[in-house]
Amino acid sequence: MRHTMTDGRRIVVIGAGPCGLGCARELKAMGHRNWTLIEGAAGPGGLASSVVDPQGFTWDHGGHVVFSHFGEFDRLLQEVMGDEVYRHERSSYVRHSDRWVPYPFQNNLRHLPEEVGYECVVGLIEAAGGDPSMDFAKWMRATFGEGITEHFMAPYNFKVWATPAERMASNWIAERVSVVDYRRALRNLILSEDDIAWGPNNTFVFPARGGTGEIYRRLGLELESNIDFGRAVVGIDVEDKQVRCSDGAIESFDFLVSTMPLDVLVGLLGRCPEQVRRAAGLLEHNGVYMVGVGYETPLTDDKSWMYFPQEHTPFYRATNFAKYSPFNVPGGDVERYCSYMTETSYSPYKPEERSGLEERVEQGLRAGGVVGGRPPVATAHLEDIPYAYPVPTVKRDEALRTIQPWLMARGIYSRGRFGAWRYEMANMDHSVKMGIDVARLIVEDRPEELWSL
């Protein structure tokens, strides 16, 4: 028998988001039966769940596109969704100087006013070149030069991260930011060529019905006999290897896989060294208000999503959500409705007034050139996402190197977007893969392929 070594060992998984579900599904696939999953919310999906608002519009928790780096995730998606997805070509733009500049901005400078385009190219030529030991502020200037940094990178990144770039590292960047060499930028500018196919998500799929959350709703159904919904973990006893739940129940574990935010997890530990607690206090994150606005006007916009570095909109991104699937609007009626999902970040460095945000977002959609005229507003829905982006600060890696080995030595594996707190591996495919890998590590002693310190 393959699994006798660990069959008797109790695995408790916290959280039915993509990571916890990926882990649970793999445990089941490996024939390991002694596990349970505890989820505080009423349903599965976590940050990747979807909601239907009272007017019948479907929303995700911010713009989610499904693209994958891993065979395991592709297979899971195929098994769970089959052909019930739409396939899209990315068509994304940056709004700047009242124009639409194809994304990535830095490769398509010819769409800018001539003076701005000139400043950007000169900056690129003069840029000394960045290296990953620099903080993000220095790295942006060294990589892109003054023009692109001032016109796009600095304001856009502050709008997304809600964190001063000086506090952030640059070693997470790799495929997350398109780096361009000046010859290519100059060529595109002078020869009037566009360069739009950059990046890992230039094509993407989207569930036909139910939003992104449909993937995890279906996964949750497969596993629900072992999942306790509506039951939050409120305490963890490391020595006795027990978790305490909001309903008073106690669960014993040999191994704990936690996908809750790592700083919250450390806060729930009965006892832990002061340096672990201090390190958890160094982890920074932002929050995001997702405001979805549905209009009673036909869908005609062909863009997928749009970036907004400038001040005239509170949001940094808007997604043309009815284009992802017509069923994101009531009755699938895109002759009658369209819908835009926006994301506005907040943090202590960038407070954002929640009250009245729906109105400010709706005005922003018009001021930002997303919708023309004054179409009737059919819905305006707000979701508060207090843990949205795990910020890659300069202090992050040292903090993680203090916390994670201490936890793992006690059979506690913290994985997923906020469990690992590594933005560079924080998408859905990464989160599922981390869950699968940790299941294999615990049951079969196979080294993890994605997560490392």
Ligand X SMILES: Cc1cc2nc3c(=O)[nH]c(=O)nc-3n(C[C@H](O)[C@H](O)[C@H](O)COP(=O)(O)OP(=O)(O)OC[C@H]3O[C@@H](n4cnc5c(N)ncnc54)[C@H](O)[C@@H]3O)c2cc1C
Task: Please list every residue from 110 through 149 that binds ligand X, using CB under 6 A.
Answer: none
Name the minimum Å distance from CB 343 to ligand X: 5
**Residue 365: which H helix or E strand, with range?**
helix 357-367
Which own/partner pairs from 198-203 qualify as long-range (CB within 8 Å, at least 24 positions apart)? 198/103, 198/104, 198/107, 199/90, 199/104, 199/175, 200/67, 200/69, 200/175, 201/65, 201/67, 201/90, 202/89, 202/90, 203/67, 203/87, 203/88, 203/89, 203/90
Q: Which stretch binds ligand X (CB under 6 A): 111-119, 182-190, 332-340, 415-423?
A: 415-423
Contact call for residue 48 and ligand X (CB under 6 A): yes
Hey, which bits of 15-81 come out as E strands? 35-38, 50-52, 58-60
Euclidean distance between CA atoms 103 and 321, whole angstroms: 18
Alpha-carbon radius of gyration of the chain? 23
Question: Residue 366 — φ and ψ, nearest 5°?
Answer: -80, -45
Q: Which stretch binds ligand X (CB under 6 A): 27-35, 60-68, 375-383, 436-444?
A: 60-68
Task: Please list every residue from 86 through 105 that binds ligand X, using CB under 6 A.
Answer: none
Q: What is the DSSP string of 399-411?
A: HHHHHHHHHHTTT
Determine which residue in the list 32, 381, 417, 422 makes contact with ligand X, applying CB under 6 A: 417
Q: Which stretch binds ligand X (CB under 6 A): 41-49, 69-77, 89-97, 140-148?
A: 41-49
Name the minimum Å distance from CB 154 to ligand X: 21
Determine which residue in the list 169, 260, 407, 442 makes contact with ligand X, applying CB under 6 A: 260
Determine which residue in the list 367, 385, 394, 408 makes contact with ligand X, applying CB under 6 A: 385
SS3 258: strand
What dihedral angle (degrees, nearest 10) is formed by the CA atoms of 88, 90, 91, 95?
A: 130
Euclidean distance between CA atoms 185 and 104, whole angstroms: 11
Instruction: Give the burial string for 210-228 (b: 16+ CB within 10 Å, else e).
Output: bbbbbbbbbbbeebeeebb
Q: Exposed, middle or buried by CB within 10 Å (0-12, 13-18, 19+), for 197?
A: exposed
Determine which residue in the list 24, 148, 256, 428 makes contact with ligand X, applying CB under 6 A: 428
Contact call for residue 46 and ligand X (CB under 6 A): yes
Contact call for residue 388 and ligand X (CB under 6 A): yes
Contact call for residue 163 and ligand X (CB under 6 A): no
Q: Which stretch binds ligand X (CB under 6 A): 56-64, 91-99, 158-166, 327-335?
A: 56-64
Task: Please list every residue from 20 through 39 that binds ligand X, using CB under 6 A.
Answer: 20, 38-39
Contact call for residue 418 and ligand X (CB under 6 A): yes
Name the minimum Å distance from CB 41 to ligand X: 4
Conformation bin of residue 159: beta by default, left when phi > 0, alpha when psi is -120 to 50: alpha
Binding marks (x or -) toward ligand X, 3..22, rule CB under 6 A? -----------xxxxxxx--
Which residue number, 146 or 383, has a Cβ lying nearer to ligand X?
383
Which residue number, 61 or 396, has a Cβ lying nearer to ligand X?
61
Which residue number, 3 or 244, has a Cβ lying nearer to ligand X?
244
Contact call for residue 169 and ligand X (CB under 6 A): no
- Please give the residue ranges that form the binding site for ligand X (CB under 6 A): 14-20, 38-41, 46-48, 61-65, 232-233, 259-260, 288, 343, 385, 388, 416-419, 426-429, 431
